Amino acid sequence: MTILYLNAAVMTPQGLEARDIHVRDGRIAAFYPSGEEHRARKTMDLQGQLVTPPMCDLQVNGGGGLMLGACQSVEDLRQIVDAHQSDGVAHILPTLISDTEEQIIRIADLVAAARRDGLWQIQGLHLEGPHLTRAGAHDPDMFRPLEMADLALYREIAAKVGRLMITLAPELVPVETIAELTRAGIIVALGHSECDSETAWAAFDAGAHCATHLFNAMSGLDHRHPGLAAAALARGTFGLIADGIHVHPDMLRLAGRHHSGAFLVSDAMAVAGTDLDQFHLNGRRIERRDGRLTLEDGTLAGADLTLARAVDIMTRASGLPRVQVISMATQVPAALLGQPKGLTIGRRAVFQAWPTRGKPRLHLPDGWTDQPPLG
């Protein structure tokens, strides 16, 4: 099927360009300057809407009623994918919270099977732990140093899951090992850590790419003893849970001033895409109330957030141009996965249209997820 989408402000590798988008057989076939005459059996006027790569969430612990660690089949993973796709997110990194080696291997095999089965939405796997020192909602009994056997295992996993991201505490992992991980094509993120800024900078210099959920579960901004948060801000590469709860709006504004590689994450849990008011994580009950997910002692345990809402909250808090914040939910995380920035000819026709107000709409190879009428 051939469709021509007219009058779009397209985010391309060269920047924003006024273009018509020619989609043929589920792929972007061409971009034309807006206003040129072209024949197409079906057309839609996007009326100047911003069109970007799809939203990409690098921290998805669960959704659709399931945590990643509870998934037993490809269909379970599809349930998580569908929950996030219903909120407009097409690309995800399913995230496994600190667990055993056996569970890591099982989930990696399941993710690889899902990708072979055609779940292209799953871009790889994010292992958040177990090589951590600050617990947050993680089970500290799962924490352990990273050893040489782990390095070999992660190389094997990276070869079969697409992209592998690992969140680790740099005080537990020698810089030589961090360098080995990055040379293997693994995305190293720093987080759940008590390290000082010097240790964090050494890890960044060894190849670590970013920090996981800035400010949360990490050493902070003390003026005499700066920690990971200080180094990550100066580096400008970090994930951010922009719900106004995990990070106060004033700190979102500060983060916005140091955002060269900042990307938004949902830190979504099992309740994403559902009306569930509680679930269990490693035998502990997590309650959903007033936009928060907490353990019974009040500890935050993931977020009750969509990326689209994170864009709105971050835009208001930071004062940054909306298109810049949208990039934090689309092309910046995609670039961390090694994808080209912006929409390009030949790629799968998966993109987002952003109205001035309201929820962005997601286009998949077979059309819009909400099926608007075509002219």
Q: What is the pLDDT of residues 205-232, one digit of tens each?
A: 999 999 999 999 999 998 889 999 999 9
Query: 12 phi and psi, to 5 degrees?
Result: -115, 170
- The CA distance from 83 to 87, in Å, is 7
Residues linked to residue 300 through DSSP beta bridges, in sequence order: 294
Query: What would the two tokens of residue 302 be?
Result: 């993931």
> For a pLDDT cut of 70, what percent of the chain falls above it?
97
Higher pLDDT, 81 or 289: 81
Strands (E), 169-233: 187-190, 210-211
Residue type, 45: D
Which has more pLDDT, 300 or 56?
Answer: 56
What digits encode the pLDDT tens for the residues 259-273?
789 999 999 999 998
Contacts of residue 50, Cβ cutoff 8 Å, sequence gap at least 6: 8, 9, 11, 16, 323, 326, 353, 354
Instruction: Kindly report, residue by residue over 322-335, the tens digit of the pLDDT.
Output: 999 999 999 999 99
What DSSP designation does 68 have?
A: G
pLDDT at 299: 85
**Alpha carbons 368 and 202: distance in angstroms, whole number:** 45
pLDDT tens-digit map of 135-185: 888 889 999 999 999 999 999 999 999 999 999 999 999 999 999 999 999
Angle subtended by helix axes 148-158 and 175-183, to nearest 10: 20
Average pLDDT over the chain, rounded to whole? 93
Q: How many CB atoms lie within 10 A of CB 249?
A: 14
What pLDDT is stored for residue 326 in this prediction? 97
Query: How crowded is residue 251: how many other Cβ atoms within 10 Å of its Cβ?
Result: 18
Find how far residue 178's CA is from the centre of its chain.
21
Residue 305 has pLDDT above 80, yes or no: yes
Q: CB within 8 A of 134, min separation 6: which ones? A: 169, 192, 193, 194, 217, 218, 219
196, 243, 267, 304: which one is catalytic?
A: 267
In terms of pTM, does the model score above 0.85?
yes
Among candidate residues 253, 228, 216, 236, the one with its CA nearest the CA of residue 332: 236
Look up 139 and say whether it is catalytic: no
Q: Give the pLDDT score at 375.
A: 45
- CA 27 vs CA 210, 345, 363: distances in Å: 31, 8, 11
Which SS3 state, helix, strand or coil, does residue 77 take? helix
Task: State the residue for tokens 């197409």.
Answer: 40
Please tell me the predicted confidence (pLDDT) of residue 372. Answer: 55
Q: Are 11 and 353 in contact (CB under 8 A)?
A: no
